[in-house]
Amino acid sequence: MEIDLIQREIPVWQAERLPRRRTTLSAESVIPDTQQDVKYILSVRGDLLLKGKDLSPQGVSVSGEARAAVLYLAEDGVSLGTLRLSKPFTLDFETPDPDENALPRLSWRLSGLEARILNPRKLAADFAVTADLEVYRRGTLCLSRELPEGDWPGLHLQRAEKTELALTGVCEKSFSLREQFSFPAGKPVPAQIAGEEICFRVLGCEQVGDRAIVKGEMRLSVWGLSEAGDPVRCCFSSSFSQLMEPGGAAMDRYRVRIEPSSAWFDFTEAIGGERMLDAEIHAVAQLCVWTREPVQAVTDAYSTRMPCACTREARSLLCAQELQNARLSAEERLPMPEDCGDLLAVLPHLGPPERDGGSLPMSLELLYRTRDGAPAAAKRSLELKGSALPEGAVAGDALLLSLDARPAGDTLEVRAEAELPWERQARETLDCLTGLELREDRAAAPSDLPALTLVRPAGESLWELAKTYHSSEELIEGCNPTGAELLLIPTERA
């Protein structure tokens, strides 16, 4: 007689990671007629904007825009100019099992950016994009397996219980931030914005009923040319909160990813004549919620009446998952360019962390004027250091929290701090039963079995002894004092 164990399930989301995509792009643009020809390029900065994600029978299509802002020296050898370049693009990810109700989650970055001169009136930017995509689909999680209703005399089940982190909620929301920022008093401000960098830092997520409130900070860095024609960089920040709807399951762990989708800037003046920056930024936020669920599995079975064959499967459980932030910092003195007369701006760039996550390279672009008054640029590098990440941890994209760079004689005093998110997963394998087969044709008569057996255990568990001698753990415990070296094992009778 075959017995299929009945499953008790809950709805969950299941993640499928698609193969990483890498692509290269090129954008070209002509220098405006009002600006001089290009002599050479001083600096280039860039970012990515998420424009859309579309599901089709073939897979997932992600559309975006790569943007670059170039700072260059004009042909007169004194003036500076800026030029924006952009390139729309699409990345196609194939998935073997398309589902119109699936939800894709994107994580991407500019892994390379270079600018080049095609001719004195035309520039090009070359982008390298690295993208990872996870597709979330509806599924179920088996919490336990039980015997069907009925009387099953002599049948014993061994159970094991683990706690699994189940992905119970995934949601996505587009939102916008409209802010007005004041420029620092007494410092140069850009007369025009040449480029900007936008990043979001999530500070917390609080569950309120069936919803969740995501709180964080938007960090904005804009740079351009002042009225005097010098490069200027200004940094701003603004707090934000967004109400999202991942579902009603308990939120034991969460992960938020926010990608900018567009940005708009303009200058305005306050009542007192102070110059202000109007900023409108659009972004897409995605929230994933995990709930700790107790999972009970049947790991073994036997019958005291007849042979019992078990159908097994190995099940992988996500039993622990951490998401934390590591802090890395640096305090160094870097040599200034020998011909530096006046430092104008310092533009930072964080590279990927080292393998153990304990160090993070950062390059600095120094924009300055030489002692002769000519604009120039130089690069310096340093390492931000912290504690190595635990074994098995996977680092995310680092976020620069603070940068203080001040000239001190022939050196540049630099203090920097960054945040590195990391994640670690731990899985356990649980050997569980899915079905049983009772051999009724080989059932043993009660008279064929001894009523009582005396055994000196050799490391066997009570379950193993009960299974071997057609007994039960409860009967063995009831017949023997605690710590007995010899055990009386009674046979379970009908």
Q: Average model confidence (pLDDT) for the chain? A: 91
Q: What is the C-alpha to C-alpha distance for residues 54 and 103, in angstroms, rounded to an integer?
A: 10
Closest alpha carbon to 332 in 290, 361, 371, 297:
361
Model's pTM, two decimal places? 0.86
Three-state SS at 467: helix
Cα within 13 Å of Cα(4), Cβ side? 3
Lowest mean pLDDT across 141-145, 247-251, 263-267, 287-291: 247-251
Percentage of the chain with pLDDT > 70? Answer: 99
pLDDT tens for each residue of 427-463:
889 889 999 999 988 887 777 788 888 999 888 999 9
pLDDT tens for each residue of 361-401:
999 999 999 998 889 999 999 999 999 998 888 898 899 99
Percentage of the chain with pLDDT > 90? Answer: 70
pLDDT for the residue numbered 237: 94
Q: State the alpha helices, DSSP H only, in 391-439.
A: none
Q: First vs last Cα of the chain: how many Å apart?
A: 19
Where does residue 356 fall: left (phi above 0), alpha (psi -120 to 50 degrees), or beta otherwise?
A: alpha
Q: What is the C-alpha to C-alpha distance for residues 351 and 345, in angstroms, rounded to an integer?
A: 20
